Amino acid sequence: MSLFAIGLLLAAAVLHTTWNLLLKQAGEKYIATWWSAIIGFLVFTPAIYFMGLPSKAVWHILVISALFEIAYYIVLAEAYKDSDFSLIYPMGRGAAPALIAVWAAIFLGERFTPRGLIGIILIIAGLLIVGGGDIVQAHSKPNTRGILLALLLALLISIYSVLDGIAVKQTSALPYVIVLFFCVPAFTSPLIFKFYGWNKLKDEFSAHGWTLAAIGVLTIGAYSLALWAYSISPLGYAGAIREVSVVMAAFAGWQFLGEKFGGLRILGAVIIFAGIMVIALLG
């Protein structure tokens, strides 16, 4: 992979970790994701004027991806309600590269190397440490619900990442992401209004408006950079490098949110990161 593509992915990882950290600290998570998608779309819409809409050839992929993105946001919001950031983020993002590599091999014809398989094994080992950290404390039970939600997140991430990776090899990344983030609130608004009502939505915006705006801008920025890298790199490797954010997330949850088992989760995240690097650089 080119150093330029790796730089794009590292920048995307920083932005992605930041908006997830902000979302964890936001109020009502479902409303926060809805508002942030709308704000992000509005902020970046002027780019459509200069770059045009995505190619018609990828609109069907875009719509399908949007549905998986919606499922991702629903599961993410649910997971962050009562599970540690330093558990959900490293497990969800850390497991995704292995699945992306599988889908890329099946649907795009990308092939594993022996070193790539070693990287996948390292990722799985790191996940066991991150997800099993609760077990090492006497009289504690593992957060089974959080672990399952994190693994479901990984599945959803892998599916929409492959769809989007296919799409951006046929169209520009930024317009694609902008329209994608129009579809997400457009599809979910009827349910959001039904369950929460305008007054609740307005109150959430009044209380966390700047945070919601930051999440929206960072989300589109992060994903646009990632898809730009996907468009010029093998998807299996690019999807792996992007998840360097797992180490940042484990540290952030420990240091900034005061979450327990931080040291053990960082160890697991570092092992995940080692596996990611083996896949990306040697696979």
Give the pLDDT confidence of 102-139 residue by residue, as tens digits: 888 888 888 778 887 888 788 878 877 776 655 445 44
Reported as a single tens digit per residue, the pLDDT across 154-183 is 999 999 999 999 999 999 999 999 999 999
**pLDDT grade, residue 221 (50/70/90)?**
very high
Calculate the average pLDDT of the chain.
85
How many other C-beta atoms are found inside a 10 Å radius of the C-beta of residue 102? Answer: 16
Residue 211 corresponds to which tokens in the numbers above?
């945070």
- Please check the confidence at residue 153 and state whether its pLDDT lies above 80: yes
Half-sphere exposure of 162 (CA within 13 A, CB side): 21
pTM of the model: 0.82
Show the domain range for 104: 3-282
| pLDDT at residue number 198 | 92
Compute the CA torsion angle 100, 102, 108, 110 (nearest 10 deg).
100
Residue 145 corresponds to which tokens in the numbers above?
């619900």
Average the pLDDT over 251-257 and give the result: 73
| pLDDT at residue number 121 | 84
- Residues of the chain with pLDDT > 90, as a percent, come to 42
Of residues 90 and 10, which shows the higher confidence score? 10
| pLDDT at residue number 194 | 87
Domain count across the chain = 1
| b/e burial code for range 143-169 (CB count within 10 A of at least 16 → b) | beebbebbbbbbbbbbbbbbbbbbbbe
25-39, 210-224, 237-251, range with the lowest pLDDT: 237-251
